[in-house]
Amino acid sequence: MAKEVVKKIKLQIPAGKATPAPPVGTVLGPAGINLQDFCTKYNDATRDKMGDILPVEITIYDDRSFDFVIKTPPTPFLLKKYAKIDKGSVKGANEVVATLTKEQIREIAEIKLPDLNAYDIEAAMKIVEGTARNMGIAVKGVNDVELQEQAKEALEEEKEMAEREAELAEMEEAQQNKEATPEVPVVEDEKKEEN
């Protein structure tokens, strides 16, 4: 009789560095599996990819045994690794933080192909290029000129917005000053009324 699947858990753990401590312990502990056993098996299976963050899908059965499938590293992680940056752009495609070559995009697409919804390497490259664009990473010969122009336009728009906001702040301040100074009622002299 086949074992009944009780739970499926997805985690992203650094390769070769799984420990029973959090986050692994806090997620897998309530599932009732042997944490040390999982960590040992995971670390042995991922020792050759040290330094990478690998998603793992853990299937837990009713007898508290488990299986796991190791996926390819996340695309943003690979893009940052190849571009040698710590993080992507805060402003997305409006700020270019790095530039990669088409060959580097192909290498990343080849690594990711088993986990992507793509039939060939060209489709996988387009998916990776889209992720790169959203992270502010340009691809030489594909969108680097376009992204740089877009970044310049965004910078100009940002300056215009800053100028508008400064003008608005001045107008609001002038309005507040006007409201803050009380109007003194004009009292006419009683003598003038008598004449």
pLDDT value for 50: 80
pLDDT value for 99: 78
pLDDT value for 84: 82
Tell me the CA distances in angstroms from 177 to 166, 173, 174, 186, one per residue in order: 16, 6, 5, 21
Would you list the domain boundaries of the chain?
5-70, 75-146
Instruction: State pTM to two decimals.
Output: 0.59
**What DSSP state is assigned to residue 185?**
P
Distance CA 40, CA 35 (A): 9
What is the assigned CATH class of domain 75-146?
mainly alpha
Query: Which segments in the chain show pLDDT lower than 70?
Result: 1-2, 92-94, 141-152, 154-155, 180-195
Interval 50-68: pLDDT, tens:
877 888 888 888 887 888 8
pLDDT value for 65: 82
Handedness of CA 18, 19, 24, 30 (dihedral sign): positive
Domain made up of 5-70: CATH architecture:
2-Layer Sandwich (3.30)
